[in-house]
A and B are shown apart, each in its own frame.
Chain A
Amino acid sequence: MTAQIELTNVNKYYGAYHALKDIELSIRKGSFTALVGPSGCGKSTLLRSLAGLESISSGTLRIAGEVMNAVPPRKRDVAMVFQSYALYPHMTVEENLTYSLRIRGVAKTERKKAANEVAAVTGLTHLLGRYPRELSGGQRQRVAMSRAIIRHPKAFLFDEPLSNLDAALRVHMRKEIRALHDRLGATSVYVTHDQVEAMTMADHVVIMRDGVIEQQGSPLELYDQPGNKFVAGFIGSPAMNFLPAVGGQDGRSIILDLGVKQAIVLDREVQPGQALIVGLRPEHIELAAADEGVLSAQVALVESTGATCFLTMATTPELSVVFNGRSEARAGDRVGLNFAPGSIHLFDANTERRLPD
């Protein structure tokens, strides 16, 4: 497992603004890594630094073992798919695809052959003679990807490539990009603000906030073991419930504060009196009869998509519950809520860090 891209202690400043803070990241060869986080978290800056479109202020960036800190973008041998696609409007699809080959001085017949090969893979064969303005959003997206593929680069960089597509097409292209990645076996780095994209496509997810890597790992690791409250709230949809609590005097229970105080016995130890945040995923809560649950609450809102049902409870803070199927509950009903003690995530209320299980 060799590292294709390696960042050690990378910092980036824009004047006084510290955009990337001590980034340590190792991207395995052939992996699909997603950089995810809210806007302004530095994920695009990080990607553009890999490409060389931004320079890093300190630290070391290696691509395929070579230090790339001062190497210009054109010599890094990485390909990028832009959010805007950045297709050359004055060139046909074929000319767009073969631009990099033309720059390298590849003969015309070979360029044509390469374009045909890639177009066959990405389904663009019938569009080779068209101009970008004559293409739909999905087709442009495909041209942008083909333009990257044709080069066989050391790494593919994606900068929110699906955000200009409509929802249905986005789901479709998601699968297509992942399938293409598996077929080509190339190293891919994918920037997105959509955690669902990151979770479904990537095998390594890097969560960033304010220029800092908050946590990285496989999608399920992040889901099961979020390292802090931010990651816990960012991963998963609908978002995790956060409830205030304190450690019980017996050291084996917590006292939840949902307007009324409620003790819950855990299968783990807690410090008595410690201020806590309890994280509870909506999908880990089950409905029960009003007097049978661990908790009891009043239903504020019922939303059903047919397949799944979203319930919002009239508690402070609000509590959401989601399950497959349908519910008899109506707004205003009292229901019981059940959950396994093991599905509870505990965070320190002050540091917001995860408490060891």
Chain B
Amino acid sequence: MKRFLSSMIDGRGFDIGLVSLPLAFLLTLSGLPLLYNIVMSFQEVDMFSLGSFWRPFVGLKNYRDLFAQPETWPILANTATFVIASIAGQFLVGFGLALFFWTNFPGASWLRGLFLVSWVMPGLVVGAIWNWILSGDFGVLNFILRESGLIAGNIFWRSDPGFSLWAVIIANIWLGTSFNMILMSVGLSAIPRDLYEASELDGANVWQRFWTITLPMMRSSIGAIIALGLIFTLQQFDLFAAITSGGPNNASNVTQYWAWDLSFRQYDFAKGATISVIMIVFVMVASVVYVRSTRHEVRG
């Protein structure tokens, strides 16, 4: 007992103690539900068996049924569009802003801080505001597009099947840009100034310096932000709930919203779990990319 106590106080026992607390927390509140979700995707679940763990095992039937449904592939395609367009938009705008603030004009850091406001706003609030902006008859976006002559008639962003997914993507890009910008800013400020001076003396112009110094030095940051972006956009739920509810007719439905809809509105828990498992696979891949890219940081 004394040895145990002294190891707790002096040595490795203390480290293990520190680690075990968050690990226990993670296992109970994340690990177990995850496992339970996977198990559920192989079971037949209905309202009556919801309370018990030992439910009939049905193998891959849920997966087969899911892909037999006509809306599955369009929703998966929507998800891919949503993820790719959101990440591309957030990254390009965020990186552009980070480069802009990096020039360090007077008030740059102050203004950069203000940009974080969009990131701390709740998704539902952002959705509500974008509902107004995107509104078909009196929305400010339509007003701008119409007045600048880009469109002839109003676009009904939220109810037109051709636009409803893009309505959510636009809002999501707005929501995620500031996070991208902050991470890119951190990456940029970690590049030593004298590298630019050296390359300037070596004859490189601004464009060449960007391609040969900035981008390669940012590789790990970019890998990290894209992996995180994949995780964040696969999590994006509030905006769908607030703006389109996945409609019209699934035109803007994505897997994360569909999983919730199946489980908690149609009470088809098995299908909901099955979709979640498919998403877990994608998130796992993203996590591996993230961990690897932060491990391969190139520094001095």
Contact = CB atoms under 8 A, between A and B. Distances in A.
A90 interface: yes
Nearest to A77: B203
Interface string A33-53: 000000000000000000111
Given A76-B201, A90-B298, A103-B208, 9 more contacts: A78-B201, A79-B201, A84-B194, A89-B195, A90-B216, A90-B219, A99-B199, A133-B299, A147-B202
Given A99-B212, A132-B300, A133-B300, A86 B205 contact: no
Contact of A73 (B201, B298, B299): B201
Interface string A96-108: 0001101110000
B194 A74 contact: no
Given A89-B298, A89-B299, A89-B300, A80 B201 contact: yes
A88 interface: yes
Interface string B206-227: 0010001100110100000000
Given A90-B216, A90-B298, A99-B212, A53 B200 contact: yes
A88 to B, nearest CB: 6
A223 interface: no
Contacts of B212: 88, 99, 102-103
B204 A86 contact: no
A339 interface: no
B192 interface: yes
Contacts of B300: 89, 132-133
28 contacts: A51-B197, A51-B201, A53-B197, A53-B200, A73-B200, A74-B202, A78-B201, A79-B202, A80-B197, A80-B201, A82-B197, A82-B198, A86-B194, A86-B198, A88-B199, A88-B213, A89-B195, A89-B300, A90-B219, A90-B298, A103-B199, A103-B203, A103-B204, A103-B208, A104-B203, A133-B300, A147-B198, A151-B202
Q: Give the interface residue-count category, chain A.
A: 20 to 34
The interface centre, meaning the residue of B204, B205, B217, B219 with most chain A CB atoms within 10 A of its CB, is B204
Contacts of B203: 74-75, 100, 103-104
Nearest to A91: B216
Contacts of A133: 298-300
Question: Which 9 interchain pairs have the tightest Cβ spacing?
Answer: A100-B202, A86-B194, A86-B198, A90-B216, A74-B203, A73-B200, A103-B203, A103-B204, A90-B298
A294 B202 CA distance: 60
Contact of A89 (B197, B200, B208, B217): B217
Contact of B194 (A73, A82, A99, A100): A82
A88 B219 CA distance: 14
Contacts of A90: 216-217, 219, 298
Contacts of B192: 84, 86
Contact of A88 (B195, B205, B208, B299): B195
A94 to B, nearest CB: 15
B218 to A, nearest CB: 10
Contacts of B299: 89, 133
Contact of B205 (A52, A74, A80): A74
Contacts of A151: 202
Contacts of B197: 51, 53, 73, 80, 82, 86
A103 B204 CA distance: 6
Contacts of B208: 103
Nearest to A78: B201
Given A82-B194, A86-B194, A132-B300, A74 B200 contact: yes
A100 B300 CA distance: 20
A89 B298 CA distance: 7
A153 to B, nearest CB: 9
Interface in A99-150: 99-100, 102-104, 132-133, 147
Greatest chain B CB density within 10 A among A53, A72, A78 is at: A53
B37 to A, nearest CB: 41
A30 B5 CA distance: 73
A352 B258 CA distance: 86
B298 A103 contact: no
B198 A80 contact: yes
Contact of B201 (A74, A88, A102): A74
